Amino acid sequence: MPAVTAAPDLDARRAGLDRIAIVGASLAGLSAAEALREAGFEGAVTLVGAEAHLPYDRPPLSKQVLAGDRDGQSTALRIPERYDELKLDLLLGRAAARLDATAGTLELQSGESVGYDGLIIATGASPRTLPATPELDGIHTLRTLEDCLALRREFEAGPRVAVVGAGFIGAEVAAVARGRGLDVTVLEAAPVPLERAIGAAMGRVCAALHTAHGVDLRLGVAVEDFDGSARIERVRLGDGSSIEADVVVVGVGVDPNTAWLEGSGLVLDNGIVCDATCATNVPGIFAAGDVASWHNRQYGEQMRVEHWTNAVEQGRAAARNLLAGPLAAEPFSSVPYFWSNQYDTRIQFVGHARPDDEVRVAHGAVDDDRFVALYGRAGRLVAALGFNWARLVMGYRAKIAEGIGWDEALDGAASLE
Amino acid sequence: MNIVVDFDKCDSNAICMGVAPKYFEVKDDNFLYVLDEHPPEDVRSLIEDAVRQCPTGAISIEDD
Ligand SMILES: Cc1cc2nc3c(=O)[nH]c(=O)nc-3n(C[C@H](O)[C@H](O)[C@H](O)COP(=O)(O)OP(=O)(O)OC[C@H]3O[C@@H](n4cnc5c(N)ncnc54)[C@H](O)[C@@H]3O)c2cc1C
Ligand code: SF4
């Protein structure tokens, strides 16, 4: 992590940076706010959030909270006193409706307006829905605490559950539902789940995890529509068959929350388009977290990452770079990391895979539910996936960052165990 | 400085280990181990990073 060298607050004041606004009061926004204070920024920091809650954590929503092992309150990211300590002006329960980047003002849905000298946008992402989803009870998506508690209540009645989409959220929901003894069908359009994220070979390994735990996994099926009178009764598939279900969870990915920025002058293309330092095309405006598409020098690619650790690291980097100013801003280079807990398996993934990467199981064995697979491309190690082997996967994060070669990684694997 | 981990909260996702591998390790039994509970003062900001990044808020620093 680059150290802050100059006294940033002095620099910031010289640059006329007295008021910083952050839109999106969740992980990336909060991380940015903390980094501003840590760097010594003493001006006003306003944190605007659409949700009424103080910032809370999402990963438990498809894990412990959904399973009933933790309550909703336990997901708070910070204790309330922390916000006083940070001297934040919290405007919660108020969505930003419009950005006037020329005047430097945000208009909120409540009618208030917030002026700023510097702005960090961290509005995250929202679940996609399927076209023409009818207004039936029992059809859910999962992003917020309310979504989670509503789904948890449904699970208590012992429903038959259909999960649409075998991505990580869908997979975790299926795992929790099975853990509660519910009948679960997972419907996935692709022939192999997660192929884009982790490649076909490992996608099949993840698929096997579900079938081994009694999930009725249907691959390559198209969801045609949902049927029921007041509540969902069945999901109709493209081949004419249907699945009986009392609860449907749609987990078909998320879209970045950029609708409110249309016409603002910010370049939008699968998120807010940023350069390597998380700066947008408008000076003084940065983006971070699930909403930001930035140039990741680590891979020489524009990418948008929807993981927890990225929201923290990128939120902090955006804040530092806003204070540093364009000349001193440092690129945010990152090896993405995420984890997912499914059944008794802890899945961890570092890096950035492509479907045509070479994949080798370098540690353990897939059948033992404990292994690490390495991904190689153009002579480099680019990613690693582990089941129940955190120690090794985390070690590979550092190696990928260093740019270790593919052969070197394979040759050295045995000595790491 | 004294590193304290609340193991009831810890989710073994090894984020702390990514931040400070010399001090945190999720071993092959999937449990987190603190390798050195009393790190020198000059790594405080690194340990603070781990505290901040832990998604379950399981790590804290106590001053001895
Ligand atoms: C159920 C679930 C489980 C997950 N599990 C994992 C996991 O195991 N591992 C992992 O690495 N990642 C996981 N993630 C992903 C991780 O939680 C996200 O990457 C992270 O929350 C992104 O943080 P963010 O601050 O960028 O966006 P968000 O957390 O999406 O926050 C954005 C905030 O901005 C607000 N907002 C949106 N528009 C506006 C507006 N116009 N004005 C004001 N506020 C606005 C939103 O209401 C929201 O509160 C999970 C996500 C979910 C939903
Ligand atoms: S980051 Fe937190 S939850 Fe994860 S292993 Fe470390 S202490 Fe446990």
Distance A124 CA to ligand 1 centre (A): 5
Is the CB of A341 inside 8 Å of chain B's CB atoms?
yes
The mean pLDDT of B36-45, rounded to a whole number, is 94
**Orientation angle between helical segments A195-212 and A168-179, nearest 10 degrees:** 10
> For residue A121, what pLDDT is reported?
98
Closest residue on chain A to B54 (Cα): A309
Total-model pTM: 0.95
Residues from chain B that touch A395, judged by Cβ atoms under 8 A, are: 21
Of the two residues B30 and A316, the one the predictor is more confident about is A316
- CA atoms of A253 and A231, how far apart (whole Å): 24
Q: Specify the pLDDT at position A9.
A: 54
Find, in chain A, the residue whose alpha carbon is nearest to that of B58: A77
A377-388: average pLDDT: 96
For residue B63, what pLDDT band results from cuts at 50, 70 and 90? confident
* Chain B: residue whose CA lies nearest to A58: B55
Q: Alpha-carbon torsion A254, A259, A260, A261, what sign? A: positive
List the structure tokens of A317.
């980097």
Selected for mutation to probe chain A from B28, B34, B51 (highest A CB count within 10 Å) is: B28
A402 band by pLDDT with thresholds 50, 70 and 90: very high
Instruction: Give chain A's mean pLDDT.
Output: 94
- Which amino acid residue places its CA nearest to atom 26 of ligand 1? A289
Maximum average pLDDT range among A192-201, A251-260, B47-56: A251-260
Of A59, A337, A391, the CB nearest to B26: A391
Around ligand 2, the residues with Cβ closer than 6 Å are B 5, 10-16, 24, 26, 32, 54, 56, 58-59
| Structure confidence at residue A1 (pLDDT) | 45
Q: What is the mean pLDDT of residues A225-243?
A: 95
CB–CB contact B28 A341 (8 Å): no
CATH of the structural domain B2-62, one choice from 3.30.70.260, 3.30.1490.20, 3.40.50.2030, 3.30.70.20: 3.30.70.20
What residues contact A13, with CB distance under 8 A and at least 6 apart? A43
Q: Is the pLDDT of residue B64 over 80?
A: no
- pLDDT attached to residue A16: 85
Instruction: Work out which ligand 2 atom sits closest to the CA atom of B13.
Output: 4
Residue B46 has pLDDT above 50, yes or no: yes
Is A322 a residue whose pLDDT tops 70? yes
pLDDT value at A40 more than 90: yes
CA–CA min distance B27, chain A (Å)? 6
Q: Are A314 and A271 in contact (CB under 8 A)?
A: no
How far is residue A68's CA from residue A277's CA, in Å, rounded to a whole number?
A: 40
Contacts of B53 in chain A (CB under 8 A): 309, 312
Task: Give the pLDDT band of residue A13 (cuts 50, 70, 90).
Answer: low
Residue A132 or A249, more confident: A249
Residue A49: its H or E element: strand A44-49
- Residue B49 to residue A1, Cβ atoms within 8 A: yes
Contact criterion met (CB < 8 Å) for B14 and A339: yes
Q: Of the candidates A81, A91, A2, A14, which has an alpha carbon nearest to the alpha carbon of residue A39?
A: A2
Token reading at A293? 């598409």
Residue A11 has pLDDT above 90, yes or no: no
ipTM: 0.86
Distance, CA of A295 to CA of A273 (rounded, Å): 9
Token couple for A232: 């969902």
> A98 vs A131, which has greater pLDDT?
A98
Q: What is the mean pLDDT of residues A216-223?
A: 96
pLDDT for the residue numbered A131:
86
Q: Is A334 left (phi over 0), alpha (psi -120 to 50) or beta?
A: beta
Q: Which residues of B touch A59 (CB under 8 A)?
A: 55
All domains of chain A, ordered by start, with CATH? 10-126+255-324 (3.50.50.60), 129-252 (3.50.50.60), 344-416 (3.30.390.30)
Task: Give the minimum alpha-carbon distance from A72 to chain B in angstroms, rounded to a whole number.
Answer: 13
Q: Which helix (H) or strand (E) holds B60?
A: strand B59-62
Mean pLDDT of A191-211: 94
A257 in contact with ligand 1, CB cutoff 6 A? yes
Asked if A339 lies within 8 A of B26 by C-beta distance, the reply is: no
- Contact across the interface for A394 and B14, Cβ inside 8 Å: yes
Query: Per the CB < 8 Å rule, is B12 touching A308?
Result: no
Residue predicted with more confidence, A10 or A139: A139
Residues whose CB is less than 8 angstroms from the CB of residue A31 and which lie 6 or more positions away in sequence, other chains included: A288, A311, A312, A313, A315, A316, A319, B52
pLDDT digits (tens, 9 = 90+) for A323-374: 999 999 999 999 999 999 999 999 999 999 998 999 999 999 999 999 999 9
Q: What is the pLDDT of residue B28?
A: 82
Distance, CA of A44 to CA of A54 (rounded, Å): 19
State the average pLDDT over residues A12-29.
88
Give the pLDDT of residue A4.
46
